[in-house]
């Protein structure tokens, strides 16, 4: 009798879960769009004729189906940034990693479930620099019938921070790749596609949020910028951070939010100030000393209902090189251990890696006509453990893994750098023997369900910089982060194994290190790369090949029959 009652209860729970899930379907038409910004017109690539593209709203447990029709002149893929893609790695989207691109005039349909995740993620193009304008919010609310682990806000508002070039962004990239140098800086930062009052010819389209005094709002903040971390503030107001990268946090009180490219932050604020207008503002956090950057401030307006037209109050932004403020924010976040999807951090490590990340040099190629301060025979390159990632071109890496095709990649990515040196010593930043790297498609193979720990160590080669590193297919625990060279004897005492923050993108401190840990329970090929687009084509990337598990539920499912062909 007891067994019958148990199975009846299980069946009812399963039916209830299935009943609460839905299929959410969207169509993305990707094509040219003429926009007017900064006193001129520019043709950009966009989705459904808007910048940012459409906001996708689902509930945890739903199935998402998105039909992508590529009417643009460029190859296209869409990456669902931060989605685990459990048994649906074919839908992850990075070009030549999990699929070949959707060529102009063709279409592809992404299908996947979103389970065990709540909060704000986003979607963006994962070919070339097209994500500058091909991006949008992906909002995951709690499963129907469930609630947030905090009082429900009066309203939820996506705030997509971006960059705008008063130029053809594809031509900007082509020029950089041709010369082997860095691309031109953007001409403006944007809030929900608009530069705001402080930029020329922009006041008429400044983003405005109407609020009711006394009500609490949740800003779903996304950094969709290509190359810049951003400080975000709202004049006269404080925030309570409740989610980062779709993982709940212990509520964190702050007046400034820092978001690296690829990161998301959900923050509550209460409209508790006198009725009036207040600027929200985003400006650069530029950690690389002496490196030119886009030094502007984008603004939106928080307008209290009943306010008369007066100039909004402006927040005092941190200095662009304020690493202390950035590090304080990044390092003080912790997980909400009572959250609905929280799991304890694994304490037994199966695979330990020490990975240097930074810039270097690779052979220029061609006629050695690169314009490089280290000689025309070199171009800038990014590398991890002195391996500069080379994208395949004739088959995606996931197809090669699934079908056992050799010659697409090698499973010999090193666990340690080939040479140990004083990694953050800026006196070595021009040492050509340390900087020269070679291009290769080398990956790290990991057994299913293994616990992987990575020390991500910045180097000072060429320059020191804060690198936002994004891992596809997983969230990871951030155990600790600091400056200088990582020392296990000293720094392991700082590890937070109780409630470490969980992220999919970590801003490794400038001239410093971060230690992350994840359980490789998701079979497939998962890209790891710097989310500064200036560094991705340079090769600051690698990939993990996670073996299949022992059961169908822990294996990669067969590929869809209509994968795009290279």
In the 3-class helix/strand/coil scheme, how is 10-46 assigned residue by residue?
HHHHHHHHHHHCCEEEEEEEEEEEEEEECCEEEEEEE
pLDDT for residue 479 is more than 60 = yes
Per-residue pLDDT at 14 exceeds 80: no
What's the whole-number mean pLDDT along residues 175-203? 91
Average pLDDT across the chain, whole number: 93
d(Cα 456, Cα 471) in Å, to the nearest integer?
12
Do the domain assignments include residue 231?
yes
Q: Of 15 and 144, which is predicted with more confidence?
A: 144
Short-list 440, 454, 460, 464, CA closest to 520: 454
Kindly report each contact of residues 551-556 with a partner whose C-beta sits within 8 Å and lies 24 or more positions away, as own/partner. Answer: 553/87, 554/448, 554/449, 554/521, 554/523, 555/87, 555/523, 556/87, 556/89, 556/401, 556/402, 556/523, 556/524
Q: Note down the domain range covering 70.
A: 23-141
Strands in 444-446's sheet, in edge-to-edge order, are 444-446, 541-546, 524-530, 467-471, 505-508
Q: How far apart are CA 421 and CA 353, in angstroms?
A: 17
Q: Is the pLDDT of residue 6 over 60?
A: no
**pLDDT grade, residue 289 (50/70/90)?**
confident
pLDDT, average across residues 31-40: 97
**Position 363 in a domain:** yes
Q: Does position 358 have pLDDT exceeding 60, yes or no?
A: yes
Confidence of residue 364 (pLDDT cuts 50, 70, 90): confident
* Strand-pair category, 524-530 with 541-546: antiparallel
Q: Which tokens is 8 given? A: 């009846």
pLDDT at 439: 93
What is the percentage of the chain residues whose pLDDT exceeds 70?
Answer: 96
Strands, E assignment, 286-350: 297-304
In a domain, 207, yes or no: yes
Which of 218, 205, 220, 76 has its CA nearest to residue 134?
A: 76
Return the pLDDT at 249.
Answer: 98
Task: Say if residue 426 is in the same domain as residue 313.
Answer: no
Mean pLDDT of 182-211: 95
Instruction: Tell me the per-residue pLDDT of 507-517, one tens digit each, with 9 for 90 and over.
Output: 999 999 999 99
pLDDT at 402 over 90: yes
> Is 229 inside a domain boundary?
yes
The tokens of 351 are what?
């695979």
**Inside any domain, residue 343:** no
Helices then strands, each counted (H, E), the chain: 6, 32
Q: Please tell me whether residues 231 and 124 are part of one structural domain.
A: no
Cα separation, 387 vs 311, whole angstroms = 52
pLDDT by residue (tens digit) across 437-453?
989 999 999 999 999 99
Query: How many of the other CB atoms lie within 10 Å of CB of 372?
Result: 16
Specify the pLDDT at position 309.
Answer: 76
Least confident of 95-109, 170-184, 417-431: 170-184
Residues 247 and 355 in one domain: no
Quick one: 93 and 164 in the same domain?
A: no
Predicted confidence at residue 374, as pLDDT, reads 85
Which of 299, 332, 365 delimits the end of a domain?
332
Residue 223 has pLDDT above 50, yes or no: yes
What is the number of structural domains in the chain? 3
Question: Is residue 115 a part of any domain in this protein?
Answer: yes
pLDDT band at 9 (very low <50, low <70, confident <90, very high): very low
Query: Which tokens belong to 564?
Result: 């795009």
How far is the C-alpha of 541 from the C-alpha of 470, rounded, in Å? 9
Q: What is the pLDDT of residue 19?
A: 53
Answer yes or no: do 359 and 327 share one domain.
no
Strand duo 512-520 + 450-458: pairing? antiparallel
Among 141, 166, 183, the domain boundary falls at 141
pLDDT at 13 over 50: no
**pLDDT tier at 414, thresholds 50, 70, 90:** very high
Identify whether residues 322 and 356 lie together within a single domain.
no
**482 and 536 inside one domain:** yes
Residues 251 and 386 in one domain: no
Among the candidates 109, 141, 173, a domain finishes at 141
Are residues 513 and 425 located together in one domain of the fold? yes
Residues 369 and 315 in one domain: no
Evaluate the CA torsion angle 93, 27, 83, 335 in order and state its sign. Answer: positive
Does the pLDDT value for residue 12 go beyond 50? no
Predicted pLDDT at 181: 77
The reply to whether 566 falls in a domain is no
- Which residue's entry shows tokens 């990044």? 330
Segment 515-540, tens digit of pLDDT: 999 999 999 999 999 998 776 778 99
* φ, ψ of residue 296 in degrees (nearest 5): -135, 175
Of the listed ranges 273-282, 310-319, 331-340, 366-375, the one predicted with least confidence: 366-375
Q: Give backbone dihedrals phi and psi of 264, rounded to 5 degrees, phi first.
A: -130, 155
Task: Using the predicted structure, report yes or no on whether residue 3 has a pLDDT greater than 90.
Answer: no
Model confidence over 84-122: pLDDT tens digits?
999 999 999 999 999 999 999 999 999 999 999 999 999
Residue 7 pLDDT > 60: no
Calpha distance 209→280 (Å, rounded): 10
Terminus-to-terminus CA distance in the chain, angstroms? 58
Is 10 contained in some domain?
Answer: no
pLDDT at 8 over 70: no
Alpha carbons 405 and 522: distance in angstroms, whole number: 20
pLDDT at 348: 96
* pLDDT band (50, 70, 90) for residue 4: very low
Mean pLDDT of 76-90: 97
CATH code (residue 304): 2.60.40.420
Residues 159 and 263 grouped into a single domain: yes
Q: Are 195 and 251 members of one domain? A: yes
pLDDT in tens, 112-140: 999 999 999 999 999 989 999 999 999 99
Mean of pLDDT values over 150-177:
94
For 490, the enclosing helix (H) or strand (E) is helix 488-491
């Amino acid at each position: 009798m007891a067994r019958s009652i148990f199975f009846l209860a299980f069946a009812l729970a399963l039916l209830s879960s299935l009943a609460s899930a839905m299929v959410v379907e969207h169509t993305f038409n990707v094509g040219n769009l003429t926009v007017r910004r900064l006193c001129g017109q520019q043709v950009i690539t966009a989705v459904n004729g808007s910048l940012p593209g459409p906001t996708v709203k689902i509930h945890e447990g739903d199935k998402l189906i998105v039909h992508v029709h590529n009417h643009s002149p460029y190859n296209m893929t869409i990456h669902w940034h931060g989605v685990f893609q459990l048994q649906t790695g074919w839908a992850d989207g990075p070009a030549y990693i999990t699929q070949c691109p959707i060529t102009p005039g063709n279409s592809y349909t992404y299908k996947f479930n979103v389970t065990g995740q709540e909060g704000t993620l986003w979607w963006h193009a994962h070919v070339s620099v097209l994500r500058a304008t091909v991006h949008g919010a992906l909002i995951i609310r709690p499963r129907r019938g469930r609630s947030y682990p905090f009082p429900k806000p009066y309203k939820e508002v996506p705030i997509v921070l971006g960059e705008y070039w008063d130029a053809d962004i594809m031509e900007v990239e082509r020029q950089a790749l041709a010369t082997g140098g860095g691309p031109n800086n953007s001409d403006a930062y944007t809030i929900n596609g608009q530069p705001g009052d402080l930029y020329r010819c922009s006041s008429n389209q400044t983003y405005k949020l109407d609020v009711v005094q006394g009500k609490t709002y949740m800003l779903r903040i996304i950094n969709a910028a290509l190359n810049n971390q951003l400080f975000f503030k709202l004049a006269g107001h404080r925030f309570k951070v409740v989610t980062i990268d779709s993982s709940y946090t212990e509520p964190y009180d702050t007046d400034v939010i820092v978001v690296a490219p690829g990161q998301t932050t959900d923050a509550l604020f209460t409209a508790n100030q006198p009725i009036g207008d207040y600027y929200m503002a985003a400006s650069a956090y530029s950690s690389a000393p002496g490196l030119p950057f886009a030094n502007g401030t984008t603004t939106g307006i928080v307008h209290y209902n009943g306010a008369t037209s007066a100039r909004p109050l402006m927040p005092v932004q941190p200095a662009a090189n304020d690493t202390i403020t950035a590090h304080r924010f990044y390092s003080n976040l912790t997980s909400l251990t009572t959250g609905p999807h929280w799991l304890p951090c694994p304490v037994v490590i199966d695979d330990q890696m020490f990975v240097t990340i930074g810039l270097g040099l690779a052979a220029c190629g061609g006629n050695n006509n690169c314009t490089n301060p280290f000689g025309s025979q070199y171009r800038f390159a990014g590398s991890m453990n002195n391996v500069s990632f080379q994208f395949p071109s004739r088959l995606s890496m996931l197809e090669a893994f699934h079908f056992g095709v050799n010659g697409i990649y090698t499973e010999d990515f090193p666990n340690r750098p080939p040479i140990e040196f004083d990694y953050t010593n800026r006196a070595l930043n021009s040492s050509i023997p340390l900087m020269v790297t070679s291009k290769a498609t080398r990956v790290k193979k990991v057994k299913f369900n293994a616990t992987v720990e990575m020390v991500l160590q910045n180097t000072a080669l060429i320059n020191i910089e804060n690198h936002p590193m994004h891992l596809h297919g997983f969230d990871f625990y951030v155990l600790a982060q600091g400056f200088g060279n990582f020392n296990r004897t000293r720094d392991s005492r700082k590890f937070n194994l109780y409630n470490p923050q969980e992220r999919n993108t970590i801003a490794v401190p400038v001239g410093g290190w971060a230690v992350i840990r994840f359980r490789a329970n998701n079979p497939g090929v998962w890209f790891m790369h710097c989310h500064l687009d200036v560094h991705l084509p340079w090769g600051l990337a690698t990939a993990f090949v996670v073996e299949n598990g022992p059961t169908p539920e822990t294996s990669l499912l067969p590929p869809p029959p209509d994968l795009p062909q290279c």
